[in-house]
Structure 1
Amino acid sequence: MHAAGGLAADNSAAQANNPLANMTALNFQNYYIGEVTESDEYANQFWVRFAKPVSVGETNWIMRASLPVNTYPTSPTGGHETGIGDFNIFAAYLIDTGNPAVSFGVGPQLTAPTATEDELGSEKWSAGLANVLFNASSPVFQYGYLLTWQESFAGEDARQDVNVAAFQPFAFYQLGGGTYLRAAPIWVYNFENDSYSVPLGIGAGQVIKKGKTVYNLFVEPQFSVADDGPGYPDWQVFLGFNMQFLN
């Protein structure tokens, strides 16, 4: 497999943000949304994400499962609901790029309506595709993207159908000593109602390798540069604590 391979001591920082790294990972990430579009209210999304490499016959995959705890306003003027959101999982088939520093994966994704409150999820079963690229050819600058699309196929008839694409470009610039600059916004387009959100931001992180675990802490403020429709962030702060466990 030519995804990331095992992390060597001298490339831990460069590979710490690789979503296709050949190792088990556990991530705790949080978006504090200071103001939601078409509302003066705040919101919050806390994500638990687990990734694991899986071999099926002669093929290699990365499986990533994500479960959010959402806090969203119930009206434009006040009141919030907090609870579990919709569970998402995707499996990316790792394609041999011929370059061990370049990871490329594509595969199916599924979202299940696990939200504990109506306002916190879609109440729809959705399926689609995920595509990931990560280029760590340079020890100083790494970049790539996560592209997903999903469409609903079952669920509560009274709720709006899901047909959403999300594109997350990411870039990381290593400053040395495990410290790095980062940008990883998520751009969303809803094909059902032509709404969209395009945030931009820049942040900083620190990678610390202890034994066989790589710890990655970061903060990244993000601000909307274009949006249309309710429920998107006007501004938000993206925080993360990621762990990769070496084989």
Structure 2
Amino acid sequence: MNKLQLFYLLSFLITLSVKAQDTLEPKENPYTEARYHYYLKTILLFNEYLDTDSGSYNTTQLRFLHPIANRAWNLRVDLPLISTNTSSVNKTGIGDIGVGISYIPYLEHNKGIAFRARIISNSAAHPAIGTGKWVFAPALFYGSYLIEKKMLWIASLENQISFAGSDNRQDVNTTAFENYFMYIIGKNWIAADVAFRYNATTKGYPNNAFIEFGRKITQNDMAYIHPSIAFGGHKSYNYGIEVGMLILF
């Protein structure tokens, strides 16, 4: 684990020692929860380290979400800084920048449906840290509270498909079905996530799963850490760890 990853891990552990000012409570509907927040401006800063068969892949990403129109719409921008460390390539630079927009057509206090469409640009500073393709990624979400609003369930179905870019790079065509469960305990949360994927280009199943531990630090600030593991044919990595901070304002 390099110095940058160690810094993020230590920062997270120090942050956990700060006293939270109140508890995490179930919100008015599933899409007001911090990890899927549509109604407040949100900044997410995280660092993800992945171990692969050929070396390591590290992403430091800034994500900004902003409600627009009647707040049933949400704009998302992803700015990744990626570093690779393999026997053949050692590069650090801007990765593929993404922009997305979400819409909630149906919503009740306990459940709701949302749609999202993203464009992931071919903007990486080096071929080793990007796909070399422009990618369109539509997604459908279903969110619901379970167990008297103690647990949040978000299920999503997303397809990523390339439509332009370098002819020398593989096409992108991956479908993912993901289930995220978050259980609230006071000012903390525990979550589990399993994503089943099919890569139509490689005919493989690069699935992954993670367990997440999060804590509310102040009224609008939260931190989390989650270790993950990949499984299935043609998996993209072996294991990983992600540390992040959420700021709502």
Q: TM-score range by the shorter chain?
A: 0.7 to 0.9
- Superposed displacement of residue 236, structure 1: 0.6
- Superposed displacement of residue 193, structure 1: 1.1
Q: Does 1:228 align with 2:245?
A: no
Distance of aligned partners of 1:244 and 1:234 in 2 relative to their CA distance in 1, 3 Å threshold = same
**Which consecutive aligned stretches of 4+ in structure 1 deviate over 4 angstroms post-superposition?**
12-15
1:163 maps to which of 170, 173, 176: 173
Matches within 5 A, 1:132-171: 132-136=141-145, 138-171=148-181
- For structure 1, the 5+ residue unaligned runs are 1-7
The aligned residue for residue 46 of structure 1 is: 60
**What is the identity, as a one-letter code, of the residue corresponding to 2:69?**
S
**What is the identity, as a one-letter code, of the residue corresponding to 1:84?**
I
The aligned residue for residue 72 of structure 1 is: 84
Distance of aligned partners of 1:46 and 1:222 in 2 relative to their CA distance in 1, 3 Å threshold = same
Percentage identity across paired residues of the two chains: 22
SS at match of 1:159: coil
Q: Output one character per residue of 1:60-116: Cα deviation in whole Å (capped at 9) or x when no partner.
A: 312222121112245xx354211111112221211123x133232113221111100
Q: Does 1:240 align with 2:249?
A: no
Matches within 5 A, 1:20-39: 20-33=37-50, 35-36=51-52, 38-39=53-54
**What is the identity, as a one-letter code, of the residue corresponding to 2:237?**
P
- Superposed displacement of residue 196, structure 1: 2.6
Aligned CA RMSD, in angstroms, stands at 2.6
- Superposed displacement of residue 20, structure 1: 4.2
Distance of aligned partners of 1:201 and 1:95 in 2 relative to their CA distance in 1, 3 Å threshold = same
Calculate the TM-score normalised by the size of structure 2.
0.79
The aligned residue for residue 87 of structure 1 is: 97
* Bigger helix fraction: 2
- For structure 2, the 5+ residue unaligned runs are 1-22
Q: Does 1:100 align with 2:109?
A: yes
| Inter-partner Cα distance in structure 2 for 1:209 and 1:101 | 25
**Does the CA-based 8 Å contact 2:119-2:135 persist in structure 1?**
yes
